[in-house]
């Protein structure tokens, strides 16, 4: 079982049997319906495609056709999902189109891997983005250069700016994976996972919960 998709609801804390406070991230995980199966013979790789959430409008014709075909062939009533994701598996024949993956694929105490996008900070300067210190004061006429990056390259040679130079730019909203987070509690009736520690992403952002074994 590879994992499922979920939505980060926020952070809280719980207490263990010894009274120690444990910070946890609350995640609404699943249910995720299996949309399609990919096989090495047909697609070149083995994987399952799952969907999370409900998309109630603005469904494009290709996706509408896919769901229509699933519902007709399998006699199902699957609603179009908001997010689709593929997970590689060893044997896609073990799965069935239309089946649901829920939080019950995990167990308390199990360590999982979580992947999400960090909070977006927008366009930021070098002091916030890279931790530059500035010129250190307003002496020697530096009245308007306190947060400036300084020189970024020579003039005659190489007469250009090297790629990867630390400069101002977009900060955040990048994919981050956190490994080894322990599941503290599972609430199956509400599709809730309590995972120890912090998970990348803002509240209501989509995260992937992956099994590590």
Mean per-residue pLDDT of the chain: 89
- What is residue 138's predicted lDDT score, i.e. its pLDDT? 66
What is the structure's pLDDT at 80?
85
Lookup result for tokens 């896919």: 66
Find the angle CA(153)-CA(155)-CA(145) to the nearest 5 degrees.
55
Strands 83-88 and 47-52: antiparallel
CA 64 to CA 87: how far, in whole Å? 22
Residue 142 has pLDDT above 80, yes or no: no
Helix (H) or strand (E) holding 169: strand 169-172
Quick: pLDDT tens for 27-37. Answer: 999 899 898 89
Mean per-residue pLDDT, 57-82:
81
- Short-list 104, 2, 106, CA closest to 47: 2
With CA atoms as reference, report the closest residue to 152 among 172, 138, 169, 166: 166
Cα–chain center distance at 57 = 23
- Identify the DSSP state of 80: P
Q: pTM here?
A: 0.82
Task: Give the CA radius of gyration of the chain.
Answer: 24
Rounded-to-integer distance, Cα 28 and Cα 8, Å:
6
What average pLDDT does the segment 166-182 reach?
Answer: 94
Alpha carbon 110 to its chain's center? 19
Q: What is the pLDDT of residue 137?
A: 65
Does 31-101 carry CATH code 3.30.160.810?
A: yes
Reported as a pLDDT band with limits 50, 70 and 90, residue 68 is confident
- Distance separating alpha carbons of residues 1 and 98, to the nearest angstrom: 16
Confidence of residue 21 (pLDDT cuts 50, 70, 90): very high
> What average pLDDT does this structure show over 186-192?
93
Across residues 5-24, what is the average pLDDT? 93
Domain 1-26+106-134+159-213, CATH number (from 3.40.50.720, 2.40.30.10, 3.90.1150.170, 3.40.50.300): 2.40.30.10
CB-CB contact of 112 with 106 (8 Å): yes
pLDDT value at residue 78: 79
The full set of domain ranges for the chain reads 1-26+106-134+159-213, 31-101
pLDDT of 110 higher than 80: yes
Q: Which residues contact 54 (CB under 8 A, 6 or more apart)?
A: 79, 80, 81, 82
Work out the average pLDDT over 20-44: 92
List the one residue out of 118, 81, 125 whose CA is nearest residue 201. 118
């Amino acid at each position: 079982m590879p994992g499922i998709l979920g939505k980060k609801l926020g952070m809280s804390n719980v207490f263990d049997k010894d009274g120690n406070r444990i910070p946890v991230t609350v995640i609404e995980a699943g249910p995720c319906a299996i949309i399609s199966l990919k096989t090495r013979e047909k697609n070149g790789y083995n994987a399952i495609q799952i969907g999370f959430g409900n998309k109630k409008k603005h469904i494009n014709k290709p996706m509408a056709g896919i769901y229509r075909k699933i519902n007709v062939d399998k006699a199902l009533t699957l609603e179009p999902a908001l997010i689709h994701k593929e997970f590689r598996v060893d044997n896609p024949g073990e799965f069935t189109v239309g089946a649901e993956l829920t939080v019950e694929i995990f167990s308390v105490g199990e360590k999982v891997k979580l992947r999400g996008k960090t909070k977006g900070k927008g366009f930021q300067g070098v002091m916030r983005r890279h931790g530059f210190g500035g010129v250190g004061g307003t002496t020697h006429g530096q009245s308007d250069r306190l947060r400036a990056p300084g020189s970024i390259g020579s003039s005659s040679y190489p007469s250009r700016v090297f790629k990867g130079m630390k400069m101002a730019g977009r900060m955040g909203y990048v994919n981050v994976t956190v490994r080894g987070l322990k599941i503290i509690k599972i609430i199956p009736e509400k599709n809730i996972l309590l995972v120890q520690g912090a998970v990348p992403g803002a509240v209501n952002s989509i995260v992937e919960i992956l099994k590590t074994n």
